[in-house]
């Protein structure tokens, strides 16, 4: 007959395995689903959620919103719902503020569920506060409201079984606002796709590197701008001094060429600068950046 200690060991091991499985399945995800008390969105192709009244005003680059729409095709809007399934390339220079954790043609009637939930107290606010203070260490932040929307194992249109999971989290203390975009397993797609955010007249906007390629999006669960694989974090209440726009980057770069090109020739200069620009864009800088060569100096080894 097993002893009490053996029973405890088996129970502890089971709990540990369950915890490991949950972590492996959800990665950086905040709690979601029926166990979190979430509401699920409509399971109809290109249908949209009903209007959601926010418990707390949310500031998004100078504009204050009291409502939000979860659109089935992987993005949020504030003023009205949208059934557009082909993403507008950012910058769209449009009249809408958009938060797009993964905007593409999604068919939730095939498989998957879209969940959402708001929080004004509890452990989710504690975690949100900890995350923001870790990702933005210059702030002393205490979350008072969190909104979580999760696309759980949804399919792309015409491709049943292409299970894809991602999440967007809105966090506020009534003054400062942040968004987190969390990624789990993302299936390859031939559909047009894009992740990031855009604003009225695209001032500013952001595209997560690699998110506009259907063959590269599985890498989203391994990439990050805050050293947390699968998570991208942004401050979005305004344009604070510490948050750079496309004209604000000052970059130092050292480069060694295998052979010394005559950089006084315009053609060679253009080739080198274009290669450098592409490398910087691949690492997260905006695609609107410009590079200029100030001086050329040949050094002997």
SS3 203: coil
Q: Where are the domains positioned within the chain?
A: 28-235, 246-301
SS3 81: coil
Distance from C-alpha of 219 to C-alpha of 193, rounded to nearest angstrom: 14
Q: Identify the weakest region by mean pLDDT among 118-122, 143-147, 160-164, 225-229.
A: 160-164
Going by C-beta distance under 8 Å and a sequence separation of 6 or more, which residues neighbour residue 55? 118, 120, 145
C-alpha angle 246/249/250, rounded to 5°? 155
Choose among 279, 68, 87: nearest CA to 195.
87
266 vs 290 pLDDT, higher one: 290
pLDDT in tens, 80-116: 989 899 999 999 999 999 999 999 999 888 788 899 9
Tell me: pLDDT of 230 over 80: yes
SS3 180: strand
One-character DSSP codes across 218-267:
GGGGG--SSSSTTEEEEE-SS--TTS--TT----------SS---TTSHH
Q: Identify the weakest region by mean pLDDT among 55-69, 226-240, 281-295.
A: 281-295
Distance from C-alpha of 220 to C-alpha of 104, rounded to nearest angstrom: 15
* Residue 32 confidence (pLDDT): 86
Q: What is the mean pLDDT of residues 116-145?
A: 96
* Residue 137 confidence (pLDDT): 94
Q: Are strands 106-107 and 177-183 parallel, antiparallel or unpaired?
A: unpaired
* Residue 94 confidence (pLDDT): 92
User: Torsion angle, CA of 144/102/46/69, rounded to 10 degrees?
Assistant: 20
pLDDT in tens, 70-79: 999 999 999 9
* Residue 288 confidence (pLDDT): 54
At 89, list the tokens.
Answer: 């390339």
Task: Tell me the C-alpha to C-alpha distance, in Å, between residue 41 and each of 45, 47, 62.
Answer: 11, 9, 29
Distance from C-alpha of 263 to C-alpha of 272, rounded to nearest angstrom: 9
Which strand (E) or helix (H) includes residue 160?
A: strand 159-172
Q: Which of 9-13, 28-32, 75-79 has the highest mean pLDDT?
A: 75-79
Choose among 9, 189, 207, 214: nearest CA to 89.
207
């Amino acid at each position: 007959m097993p002893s009490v200690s053996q029973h405890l060991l088996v129970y502890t091991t089971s709990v540990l395995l369950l915890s490991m499985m949950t972590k492996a399945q959800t990665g950086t995800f905040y709690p979601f689903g029926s166990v979190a008390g979430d509401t699920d969105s409509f399971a109809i192709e290109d249908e949209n959620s009903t209007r959601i009244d926010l418990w707390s005003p949310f500031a998004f680059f100078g504009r204050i919103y009291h409502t939000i729409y979860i659109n089935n095709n992987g993005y949020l809007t504030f003023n009205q719902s949208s059934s557009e399934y082909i993403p507008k390339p950012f910058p769209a220079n449009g009249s809408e503020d958009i938060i797009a954790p993964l905007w593409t043609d999604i068919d939730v009637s095939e498989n998957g569920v879209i969940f959402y939930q708001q929080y004004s107290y509890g452990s989710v606010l504690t975690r949100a506060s900890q995350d923001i203070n870790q990702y933005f260490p210059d702030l002393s932040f205490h979350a008072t409201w969190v909104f979580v929307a999760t696309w759980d194992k949804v399919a792309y249109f015409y491709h049943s079984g292409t299970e894809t999971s991602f999440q967007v989290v809105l966090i506020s203390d009534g003054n400062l606002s942040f968004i987190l975009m969390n990624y789990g397993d993302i299936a390859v797609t031939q559909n047009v796709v894009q992740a990031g955010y855009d604003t009225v007249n695209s001032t500013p906007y952001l595209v997560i590197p690699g998110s506009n390629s259907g063959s590269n999006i599985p890498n989203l669960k391994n990439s990050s701008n805050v050293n947390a694989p699968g998570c991208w974090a942004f401050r979005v209440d305004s344009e604070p001094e510490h948050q750079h726009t496309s004209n604000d980057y000052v970059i130092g770069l050292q480069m060694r060429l295998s052979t010394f090109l005559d950089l006084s020739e315009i053609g060679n200069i253009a080739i080198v600068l274009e290669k450098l620009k592409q490398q910087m864009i691949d690492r997260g800088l905006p695609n609107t950046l410009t590079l200029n060569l100030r001086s050329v100096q040949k050094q002997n080894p």
